[in-house]
Amino acid sequence: MPTRARERLIEAAGDLFFAEGIHAVGVERLLRESGVGRASFYRHFASKDELVATMLRSYDEELRGWLRRVVADAGGDPLAMFDGLADRMAASGFRGCASINTMVEIADPDDPARKVAVEHKEAMLRELRQLLDAPYDADLPEQLLLLFDGALVSSLRERSPAPARRARKIAQALLAP
């Protein structure tokens, strides 16, 4: 029977890093929370840094998939991303964006985890470009991502999904013909 050790490590890392921060959580804690042994950890990851990068890539895939689904479910309406974001913000345990949190915690631009976090934001821009009907103002994807990220950060301060609703109103004005 497979133990799913790799997946358990990634899941524990996401939960712990999101709740407490990357630097605050050591390998011992990851092992304890995931129920994975040290040898198994190092069989799957060369270091904690590699686990952090893998967890961030997993977050990237999940969030971009979520973005595509929420917009598709709304008939292609890009404003649905803000409605879906408000739902995410209202969920118990919401802690913002793993990539933003990483960039705040790790200032070194050469750090591998920070690079993965930046890559996520670049991938989000590519997703937004694909989701928008052409033609559109070249700055529009950047503006929508700025609203999305700003809503994420503001929701942590306000502990509310209201920033996503305000961001939606602004985005609606930007998308108006």
Shared domain check, 62 and 39: no
CA angle 129, 146, 94 (to 5 degrees): 105
Residues of the domain holding 162: 48-175
Q: Are residue 91 and residue 74 in the same domain, yes or no?
A: yes
**Where residue 7 sits, what CATH number does that domain have?**
1.10.10.60
Both 121 and 159 in one domain: the answer is yes
Looking at residue 114, its pLDDT comes to 94
Most confident range (mean pLDDT) of 2-11, 30-39, 46-55, 72-81 is: 72-81
Do 62 and 31 belong together in one domain? no
Q: Is 87 helix (H, G, I), strand (E, B) or coil?
A: helix
Q: Identify whether residues 170 and 122 lie together within a single domain.
A: yes
- The answer to whether residues 70 and 95 belong to one domain is yes
Q: Looking at the predicted structure, is the pLDDT value of residue 32 above 70? A: yes
pLDDT score of 133: 72
Mind listing the pLDDT tens digit for each residue in 104-143? 999 999 999 999 999 999 999 999 999 997 678 889 999 9
Tokens, residue 77: 């309406």
Q: Are residues 74 and 117 in the same domain?
A: yes
96 CB burial (10 A radius; 0-12, 13-18, 19+): middle
φ/ψ of 17, rounded to 5, equals: -65, -40
Residues 142 and 119 in one domain: yes
- Whether the pLDDT of residue 2 is over 80: the answer is no
- 65 shares a domain with 4: no
Clarify whether residues 36 and 57 are in a common domain. Answer: no
Residues 34 and 107 in one domain: no
Specify the CATH number for the domain of residue 82: 1.10.357.10
Torsion of CA 13, 16, 20, 26, to 10 degrees: -60
- Compute the distance between CA of residue 123 and CA of residue 162 in angstroms, rounded to an integer: 26
b/e per residue, 160-177, with b = 16+ CB within 10 A?
ebebbebbbebbeebbee
Give the H or E element holding residue 124. helix 112-131
Residue 130's contacts (CB-CB under 8 Å, 6 or more residues apart) are none
Asked if residue 100 and residue 28 are part of one domain, the reply reads no
Q: How many Å apart are CA 63 and CA 100, to the nearest integer?
A: 13
Looking at the 3D structure of the chain, how many domains does it have? Answer: 2
Instruction: For residue 29, give the amino acid letter.
Output: R
